[in-house]
């Protein structure tokens, strides 16, 4: 029997809009059509319970918009690179992990409108949700304004970060090892990993791992325990680097000292 969808409680809807005003402040853009913003942040788990649309169509549009902006910037930055190399760079930036990283820079997970089950499963930290909502957000901005405005907002917040993604992928092939080196250097301690969920059939399992270090917690998921741990470690690195803990700074200092000598 098909479950009947409910109407959204007016008070809950009002609170959703108030919360999204904070996101508008973060990105520096006020939507003319507030429904576009709400839709861009609404996960399918919520729309399956309530009479409302979700972000899937806007995600489809945003995928092209973000891809175009990133492509323009790559051509500008690397005018002599061949099409194949530029395609690899773009694929790295607009990958699920890449866009989820950009989404975390504006705390997009805090604004996702999720169903109860998805909240319990850690949906605000899930790369796939963050990536989809990020694309939907820029699809919504594009529809609410124009390409030039969308480009300016994207580059204002993420231009530096997209090139950081390209640089750092070369030095962080093993995120767990990198994270341990980072935590040992600054805290003389190491993170812990714990499997918190396994779902799916035996031949196609998805593992969910929690990485804990001090007061920080990140969630990673993958088709193997190792892959899930790597993703959780990657997110923990991003959290620590946001607070200024980075091996890159140390490397830069060493390089400068060598030049002086």
Q: Which residues of the chain have pLDDT under 50?
A: 1, 10-11, 171-172, 250-261
Q: Count other Cβ atoms within 10 Å, centred on residue 60.
A: 13
User: For position 85, what pLDDT does the model report?
Assistant: 82
Catalytic site residue 148? no
pLDDT of residue 75: 96
Which position among 59, 118, 132, 135 bears the catalytic label?
135
How do the domains of the chain map onto residue ranges? 10-170, 175-260
Instruction: Provide CB contacts within 8 A for 216, sequence distance 6+.
Output: 236, 239, 240
Q: Which CATH code is given to the segment(s) 175-260?
A: 3.30.160.20
Query: pLDDT digits over 192-227, tens only?
Result: 999 999 988 877 789 999 999 999 999 999 888 988
What pLDDT shows up at residue 181? 83
Distances (CA, A) of 18 to 14, 43, 194: 6, 18, 36
Residue-wise over 20-54: b if at least 16 C-beta within 10 A, else e? beebeeebebebeeeebbbbbbbbebbbeebebeb
Give the domain 10-170 fold: Ribonuclease iii, N-terminal Endonuclease Domain; Chain A (1.10.1520)
Which residue among 59, 63, 127, 168 is the active-site one?
63
- pLDDT for 1 equals 44
Position 212 scores a pLDDT of 97
Catalytic annotation on 253?
Answer: no
């Amino acid at each position: 029997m098909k479950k009947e969808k409910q109407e959204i409680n007016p008070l809950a809807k009002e609170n959703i809009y108030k919360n999204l005003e904070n996101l508008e402040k973060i990105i520096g853009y006020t939507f003319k059509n507030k429904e576009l913003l709400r839709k861009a942040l609404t996960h399918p788990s919520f729309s399956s319970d309530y009479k409302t649309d979700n972000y899937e169509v806007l995600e489809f549009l945003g995928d092209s918009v973000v891809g175009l902006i990133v492509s323009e910037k790559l051509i500008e930055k690397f005018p002599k690179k061949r099409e194949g190399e530029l395609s690899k760079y773009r694929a790295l930036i607009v990958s699920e992990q890449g866009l989820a990283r950009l989404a975390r820079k504006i705390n997009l997970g805090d604004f996702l409108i999720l169903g109860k089950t998805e909240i319990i499963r850690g949906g605000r930290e899930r790369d796939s949700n963050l990536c989809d909502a990020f694309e939907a957000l820029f699809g919504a901005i594009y529809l609410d304004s124009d390409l030039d405005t969308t480009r300016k907002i994207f580059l204002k917040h993420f231009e530096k970060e997209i090139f950081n993604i390209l640089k750092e992928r070369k030095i962080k092939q093993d995120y767990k090892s990198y994270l341990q080196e980072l935590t040992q250097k600054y805290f003389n301690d190491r993170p812990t990993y714990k499997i918190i969920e396994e779902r799916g059939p035996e031949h196609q399992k998805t593992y969910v791992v929690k990485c804990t270090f001090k007061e920080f917690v990140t969630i990673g998921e993958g088709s193997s325990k190792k892959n899930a741990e790597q993703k959780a470690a990657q997110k923990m690195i991003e959290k620590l680097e946001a607070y200024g803990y980075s091996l890159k700074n140390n490397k830069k200092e060493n390089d400068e000292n060598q030049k002086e000598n």
